[in-house]
C-alpha cells in the first residue's frame, strides 16, 4: 500500500527533545516501512525516516526562532501532500482538522488520528461540519466529547520497547516528565514529593504560553531541596531519567487523550501513579503496573505502596499492549476498513 503520512511540523520526526505526536508518527512510519508499505512522510526537513521524506519546512518549527506563524507552514504542507493525492492509496493525517477541507475535495481517502483534546466547543463544531470524515481515537475515553463522530477505530499509541532499558531495581526519586502547564499539574507532583519526603526530578519543557504560569505558580514551589528542575531532555536522557526513578507521577487535571510518557516509564520498569482522568484506566493496570488515584491524598498513599508493583509486570504490559508493531497492525486494519467503505468524491 502507498500511504502518505502528514506529520505536525512543530517538531522533527522523531523529535529531538519533547514531542508526543511526532514520536508516534515516527514509530508508525518506521513500522509500516518495515512491514513492506511504500510510505511518504510529509514533515520538517530535519526529520529522519526510512520512508520517502518530503520536507515542508527547514526544521521543526518550535526550535526555529525565525517562524511566528506555524499554521502558514501547515497550509503549505497540506497543499504539497494533496497535490500528490492521486499517487496514494490513502492519506493518513496527523495535523488535526486542518486537512478536512482538502480531504472533502479529494478522491483519495483521508484518515485522521485525533491526537489532541476534543472537549473544546470550537473543536466539536468543526468536527460536526466535517462529520463524514473518518477518525481514529487514541483512547476510548477520547471519544467522550465527540460520541457521534465517524470513529473508525481506537488505536492506542505504541513505542519500540527495545529503545528503553529495563531496570529491575527502583531508584530513589520521583519523576515528572513532559510539559509545564496547568493541566499537567506539576504543582501536585511537588506536593506529593514534599508529603512523602522523597526527591522529585522534573524534566519538562516550558512553552512561551506557559512561561507566566511557570514563573508565578511553579518556580516558587521549586525553592526546595527536594525538587530538582532538569529541563528538556533527549531520548537517551529520558531512558535513564525514567528507568532510574522510584515511580513516575502523572498528576494530570484534564481529559488526557493518551499520555505516552506513561508507557515509556513502564517500558523501563518504573510504575506509574496517575490521576483517574481521560485515558489513564486504559493505559495503567491499577495495582499491577501502578496506581490510579482519585485525589492527591491517594497519590501520596500510593507512593508508599509502590513495593507492591512488579517492575517486570510494567515492562511486560508495554510489550504486550503498547508496542509499535501492534499499533501498526491496528492501523493497517483501519486503513483497510476505510478503503472498503470509501465514498467517491463527485468529479
251 and 107 part of one domain: no
118 and 246 part of one domain: no
For the cut 60, the answer to whether the pLDDT of residue 180 exceeds it is yes
From the list 56, 65, 117, the residue with the least C-alpha distance to 84 is: 56
For the cut 60, the answer to whether the pLDDT of residue 303 exceeds it is yes
Would you state the pLDDT for residue 23?
Answer: 95
336 and 207 part of one domain: no
Percent of the chain with pLDDT over 90: 90
124 and 245 part of one domain: no
313 and 327 part of one domain: no
Would you state the pLDDT for residue 235?
Answer: 86
For the cut 80, the answer to whether the pLDDT of residue 260 exceeds it is yes
Q: Phi first, then psi: what are they for 140, rounded to 5°?
A: -65, -35
Judge whether 345 lies within some domain.
no
Judge whether 54 lies within some domain.
yes
Distance CA 222, CA 148 (A): 44
Q: pLDDT tens across 26-66, in order?
A: 999 999 999 999 999 999 999 999 999 999 999 999 888 88
Would you state the pLDDT for residue 328?
Answer: 98
Q: Looking at residue 102, which CATH number applies to its domain?
A: 3.40.50.2000
Would you state the pLDDT for residue 345?
Answer: 41
Segment among 12-21, 54-63, 243-252, 263-272 with least mean pLDDT: 12-21
Judge whether 347 lies within some domain.
no
pLDDT mean over 86-114: 97
Would you state the pLDDT for residue 207?
Answer: 86
Distance CA 186, CA 345 (A): 47
Judge whether 173 lies within some domain.
yes
81 and 181 part of one domain: no
331 and 308 part of one domain: no
298 and 187 part of one domain: yes
Cis peptide bond prior to 14, omega within 30° of 0: yes
At residue 301 the predicted structure's pLDDT band, cuts being 50, 70 and 90, is very high
Judge whether 346 lies within some domain.
no
Give the chain's length.
347
pLDDT mean over 268-285: 98
169 and 273 part of one domain: yes
Judge whether 327 lies within some domain.
yes
Would you state the pLDDT for residue 268?
Answer: 98
Q: pLDDT tens across 111-138, in order?
A: 999 999 898 999 999 999 999 999 999 9
Which residue did the predictor score with more confidence, 345 or 215? 215
Judge whether 198 lies within some domain.
yes
Domain hosting 183: range is 161-321
Distance CA 121, CA 142 (A): 15
Burial of residue 282, with CB atoms counted within 10 A of its CB: 0-12 exposed, 13-18 middle, 19 or more buried: middle
pLDDT mean over 183-189: 96
At residue 325 the predicted structure's pLDDT band, cuts being 50, 70 and 90, is very high
127 and 195 part of one domain: no
306 and 334 part of one domain: no
Judge whether 100 lies within some domain.
yes
Would strands 200-205 and 227-229 be described as parallel, antiparallel, or unpaired? parallel
28, 133, 236 from 339: Cα distances, Å: 19, 13, 39
109 and 257 part of one domain: no
Q: Report the domain count for the chain.
A: 2
Amino acid at each position: 500500500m502507498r500511504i502518505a503520512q502528514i506529520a505536525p511540523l512543530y517538531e522533527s520526526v522523531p523529535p529531538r527533545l519533547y514531542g508526543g505526536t511526532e514520536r508516534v508518527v515516527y514509530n508508525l512510519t518506521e513500522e509500516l516501512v518495515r512491514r513492506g508499505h511504500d510510505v511518504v512522510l510529509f514533515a520538517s526537513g530535519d526529520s529522519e525516516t526510512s520512508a520517502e521524506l518530503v520536507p515542508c519546512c527547514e526544521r521543526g518549527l518550535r526550535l526555529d526562532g525565525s517562524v511566528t506563524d506555524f499554521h502558514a507552514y501547515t497550509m503549505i504542507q497540506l497543499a504539497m501532500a494533496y497535490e500528490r493525492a492521486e499517487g496514494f492509496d490513502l492519506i493518513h493525517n496527523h495535523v488535526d482538522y486542518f486537512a478536512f477541507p482538502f480531504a472533502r475535495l479529494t478522491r483519495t481517502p483521508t484518515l485522521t488520528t485525533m491526537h489532541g483534546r476534543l472537549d473544546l466547543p470550537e473543536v466539536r463544531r468543526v468536527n460536526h461540519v466535517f462529520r463524514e470524515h473518518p477518525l481514529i481515537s487514541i483512547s476510548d475515553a477520547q471519544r467522550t466529547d465527540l460520541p457521534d463522530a465517524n470513529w473508525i477505530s481506537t488505536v492506542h499509541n505504541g513505542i519500540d520497547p527495545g529503545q528503553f532499558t529495563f531496570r529491575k531495581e527502583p531508584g530513589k526519586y520521583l519523576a515528572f516528565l513532559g510539559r509545564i502547564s496547568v493541566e499537567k499539574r506539576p504543582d501536585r507532583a511537588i506536593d506529593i514529593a514534599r508529603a512523602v519526603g522523597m526527591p522529585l526530578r522534573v524534566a519538562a519543557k516550558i512553552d512561551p504560553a506557559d512561561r507566566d504560569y511557570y514563573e508565578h505558580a511553579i518556580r516558587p514551589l521549586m525553592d526546595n531541596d527536594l525538587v530538582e528542575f532538569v529541563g528538556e531532555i533527549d531520548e537517551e536522557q529520558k531512558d535513564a531519567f525514567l528507568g532510574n526513578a522510584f515511580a513516575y507521577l502523572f498528576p494530570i487535571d484534564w481529559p488526557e487523550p493518551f499520555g505516552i510518557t506513561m508507557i515509556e516509564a513502564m517500558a523501563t520498569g518504573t510504575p506509574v501513579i496517575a490521576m483517574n482522568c481521560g485515558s489513564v484506566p486504559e493505559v495503567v493496570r491499577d495495582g499491577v503496573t501502578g496506581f490510579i488515584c482519585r485525589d492527591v491524598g491517594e497519590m501520596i498513599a500510593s507512593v508508599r505502596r509502590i513495593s507492591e508493583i512488579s517492575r517486570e509486570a510494567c515492562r511486560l504490559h508495554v510489550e504486550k499492549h503498547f508496542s509499535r508493531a501492534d499499533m501498526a497492525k491496528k492501523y493497517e486494519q483501519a486503513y483497510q476498513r476505510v478503503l472498503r467503505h470509501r465514498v467517491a468524491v463527485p468529479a
